[in-house]
Amino acid sequence: MADAPALPTPAPIKFRGSLALAARQFPRNRAATIGFVILLLICLATAFAPWVAPYDPIQIKLSMKLKPPSFEHPMGTDHFGRDVFSRMLWGGRTSLAVGLLVVGFAFTFGVPLGLASGYFGGKVDNMLMRLVDAFLTFPPLLLAVALVGLLGPDIKNVMLALGLVQAPILARMIRGSALAVREDVYVTAARALGASPLRIVLSHMLRNMVSPIVVQLTAVFAAAVVSEASLSFLGFGTQPPEPSWGRDMSEARRFLGDAPWMFLAPTSVIAICVLSINFMGDGLRDALDPRAWRTRRSVKADA
Amino acid sequence: MWSYLGRRLIQVPLVLLVVSLMTFAITRATPGDPVTIMLGMQTSPEAAKAMREEFNLDRSLPEQYGLWIAKVLTGDLGRSMRLNDRVTTLIAERLPISLQLASAGMLFALLVSIPLGVIAALRRNSWIDYLCTGYTVLGFAVPNFGLALILIYVFSIRLDWLPITGIGSSEAEAGGFWKHYSPFIIPAIALGSLQTAMLTRLLRSSMIDVLSQDYMRTARAKGLLPANIVIIHALKNAMIPFVTMAAVQFGYMIGVQVTIEYIFAVPGMGSAVLNAVINRDFPVIQGFTLVIAVFFLVMNILADMMYALLDPRIRY
């Protein structure tokens, strides 16, 4: 992970080797590769929305309102005559940015908490886990609704709320894998050699937890994208006229019969995103776990 | 097992204490004054002061929390600041509706996932297995409110088969069986789609697991009827993780209903919290979140218990 290059031991070279091996494994999973490519395309298209989007997403043009998909408007136009495709691209910026920031938030708080809890055990573990329990006792979406609703509908608050909801879930999972890894022989060996707890956790345990952590982070990303859309749908996220996947679906409710493309476009975009993320997560899990690697020999044996 | 249940139950008050602190903290640590929202900006200072006193908002935070908890312990969740109803009355009105909707969603999930999961496991790599995989993959990806809109468009607007509103309305409740239950169909399918995907996938993999066990071969060697083998020997064992997952998910559904209740104008728990949050109705937010948290907690403990009861190998 991020700490690897700073270590003076020869281990980093080996580690880069295993990462390179993992990178070679990943393309062998076709669904994961397709998911990765689609997600990359969506990310690039939304990131470069000002150049890619054919129209201004908030420019009202009533003469063009509720037009079905056509060559000029590939996803049709909405009730203000705005191009739905351009709105999807611009809206994706918020959704994906929130997703990434929530992943960052959950990682910065969830991983250290989970590691501390799993490594030290005892009182620390008990205290931290009761706190996590309390968070997990609330259905995640409801907690996010309460937090965002009370903090005020704003995209920064959406991010904060979703981060607060996701971090405990991640912490609980990290604790589980830390507990399992802690009992491994190489950890005992490192301790016997006099390694400090920090070093055991960071350079021995964490490295063997890369696969579950990365997979869980993809799950957090998918959950964050959907939750952001849910909150915006309920009116707590992006405010009009700014484009947003969830918010636009909420607006589309009034034109269900006349303009089905207005809700189909954001629904499909969200579904495609989540689908790609999930496939990518599956691929990463296999690629980062040497036991699941597909070699030429094993592929032949399967066939 | 009983000692495990005892230990779990001892922890419940502790978790509830933290939960109650959290619901309290969420309402107090956030901006927005309920009194100004309820009475409006132009209210007289006397009226505002009276309201503050009535709801103890003039006291210090620890005092407010103490007074609230003392009341909660006697079963009194206070009064709504906006509707002037008791919070317990509001919950008694809305919880049954939410439970009905969640049950309908779970019923749909069970009706689809059990046959689909079993057949997919029995006929691996057949078209029905691929259908099952495709269905689960989509179930995870399409958000429930998106699916709700698709279903409304197809079954209500285009085909005009099903109504979309009417859950909890007096008109529907006075009507016959169809009038009463038909408004549940679309919301239940939308609500249960994620659970259907989860449960189908779980049942398929646990069935495949069970089918490869030695006792399955023994059962076949004894010449038992194939249906007998699948239902009594395989399904019964494969259902153990399935049932626990279903219990946990049922508790979860009460909480994720917010979007569904919002679309279909269902007067349930989720929409009540939504409105209370917008109006800064502190007693309602605190009471409802507490009840939902307790429900969630109970379902989780129940799931653990069921696991132990169904699988005699498990000892806590």
d(CA B97, CA B103): 10
Asked, for residue B93, whether it belongs to a domain, the answer is yes
If you measure CA to CA, which chain A residue comes closest to B26?
A: A147
Query: Average pLDDT over chain A, rounded to whole?
Result: 83
Q: Compute the average pLDDT of residues B94-119.
A: 92
Residue B241, token pair as written in the block: 């993780």
Q: Are B118 and B230 in contact (CB under 8 A)?
A: yes
d(CA B105, CA A289): 37
DSSP state of A237: S
User: pLDDT tens-digit profile of B296-315?
Assistant: 888 888 887 877 777 777 66
| A249 vs B149, B270, B280: nearest CB | B149
d(CA A141, CA B5): 29
Residues of chain B with C-beta less than 8 angstroms from the C-beta of A140: 255-256
Percentage of residues in chain B having pLDDT higher than 90: 12
Q: Are A229 and A76 in contact (CB under 8 A)?
A: no
| B255 vs A141, A149, A264: nearest CB | A141
Angle between helices A210-233 and A245-252 (to 10 degrees): 40
Q: What is the ipTM of this complex?
A: 0.83
Q: Which A residues 169-208 touch B at CB under 8 Å?
A: none
Residue B271, token pair as written in the block: 């929409």
Per-residue pLDDT for B18 more than 50? yes
Peptide bond into A57 cis (omega under 30): no
Residue A81 falls in which region: left (phi positive, over 0), alpha (psi -120 to 50) or beta:
left
Q: Does A22 touch chain B (CB under 8 A)?
A: no
Looking at residue A16, what is its pLDDT? 56
Residues of chain A with C-beta less than 8 angstroms from the C-beta of B147: 267
Rounded to a whole number, what is the distance in Å from the CA of A254 to chain B's nearest CA? 11
User: pLDDT tens-digit profile of A54-72?
Assistant: 888 888 878 877 778 888 8
Q: Is B276 helix (H, G, I), strand (E, B) or coil?
A: helix
Q: Does A146 touch chain B (CB under 8 A)?
A: yes
Per-residue pLDDT for A200 more than 70? yes
Handedness of CA A256, B162, B197, B126 (dihedral sign): negative
Looking at residue A298, what is its pLDDT? 59
Residue A111, token pair as written in the block: 């991983």
Query: Which CATH number goes with the domain that contains B263?
Result: 1.10.3720.10
Q: Compute the average pLDDT of residues B279-296.
A: 86
Nearest to A230 by CA among B100, B45, B144: B144
Best mutation target among A39, A127, A138, A142 (most B Cβ atoms within 10 Å) is: A142
Cβ–Cβ of A146/B18 closer than 8 Å? no
Residue A206, token pair as written in the block: 């964490």
Asked, for residue B175, whether it belongs to a domain, the answer is yes
Cβ–Cβ of A230/B157 closer than 8 Å? no
Tally of domains in chain B = 1
Residue B172, token pair as written in the block: 């529907």
Q: Are A28 and A286 in contact (CB under 8 A)?
A: no
The region of weakest confidence among A90-94, B226-230, B268-272 is: B226-230
| A275 vs B11, B137, B147: nearest CB | B137
The region of weakest confidence among A4-8, A250-254, B204-208, B212-216 is: A4-8
Percentage of residues in chain A having pLDDT higher than 90: 20
Per-residue pLDDT for A11 more than 60? no
Rounded to a whole number, what is the distance in Å from the CA of B161 to chain A's nearest CA? 15
How far is CA B103 from each of CA A123, A294, B297, B304, rounded to the nearest angstrom?
39, 43, 17, 20
| A151 vs B30, B147, B152: nearest CB | B30
d(CA A61, CA A41): 29
Rounded to a whole number, what is the distance in Å from the CA of A107 to chain B's nearest CA? 22
Looking at residue A1, what is its pLDDT? 47
Q: Which A residues 151-170 touch B at CB under 8 Å?
A: 151-152
| A146 vs B18, B143, B285: nearest CB | B285
Per-residue pLDDT for B125 more than 80? yes
| A150 vs B18, B22, B30: nearest CB | B30
How far is CA A97 from each of CA A83, A108, A122, B106, rounded to the nearest angstrom?
22, 16, 38, 34
Q: Are A243 and A236 in contact (CB under 8 A)?
A: no
| B142 vs A234, A260, A267: nearest CB | A267
Cβ–Cβ of B22/A135 closer than 8 Å? yes
pLDDT band at B164 (very low <50, low <70, confident <90, very high): confident
Cβ–Cβ of A145/B277 closer than 8 Å? yes
User: pLDDT tens-digit profile of A240-294?
Assistant: 788 889 888 888 888 888 888 888 999 999 999 999 998 998 888 888 877 766 6
Cβ–Cβ of B274/A140 closer than 8 Å? no
Residue B218, token pair as written in the block: 């023994």
Handedness of CA B102, B104, B107, B109 (dihedral sign): negative
Cβ–Cβ of B277/A149 closer than 8 Å? yes
Q: Domain containing B284: what range?
A: 87-203+238-315
Cβ–Cβ of A142/B32 closer than 8 Å? no
Cβ–Cβ of A271/B141 closer than 8 Å? yes
Between A106 and B11, name the one with better pLDDT: A106
Q: Compute the average pLDDT of residues B276-280.
A: 84
Rounded to a whole number, what is the distance in Å from the CA of B223 to chain A's nearest CA? 31
Looking at residue A9, what is its pLDDT? 53
Residues of chain A with C-beta less than 8 angstroms from the C-beta of B32: 150, 152
Rounded to a whole number, what is the distance in Å from the CA of A258 to chain B's nearest CA? 10
Asked, for residue B256, whether it belongs to a domain, the answer is yes
Percentage of residues in chain A having pLDDT higher than 70: 90
Cβ–Cβ of B149/A267 closer than 8 Å? yes
Cβ contacts below 8 Å, chain A against chain B, sum to 132
Instruction: Report, in angstroms and rounded to the nearest whole number, the Rg of chain A calculated over CA atoms.
Output: 23
Q: Compute the average pLDDT of residues B278-298.
A: 85
Q: Does A120 touch chain B (CB under 8 A)?
A: no
d(CA B87, CA A300): 65
If you measure CA to CA, which chain A residue comes closest to B262?
A: A234
pLDDT band at B1 (very low <50, low <70, confident <90, very high): low
d(CA B282, CA A216): 35
How far is CA A238 from each of CA A92, A159, A173, A201, B93, rounded to the nearest angstrom?
12, 11, 31, 40, 33
Rounded to a whole number, what is the distance in Å from the CA of B255 to chain A's nearest CA? 5
Nearest to A82 by CA among A256, A265, A225: A265
Cβ–Cβ of A131/B27 closer than 8 Å? no
Cβ–Cβ of A234/B140 closer than 8 Å? no
Degrees, nearest 5: CA angle B197-B200-B204: 140
Rounded to a whole number, what is the distance in Å from the CA of A152 to chain B's nearest CA? 8
Best mutation target among A127, A130, A150, A278 (most B Cβ atoms within 10 Å) is: A150
The fold adopted by the segment(s) A44-62+73-295 is MetI-like fold (1.10.3720)
Looking at residue B107, what is its pLDDT? 94
pTM: 0.84
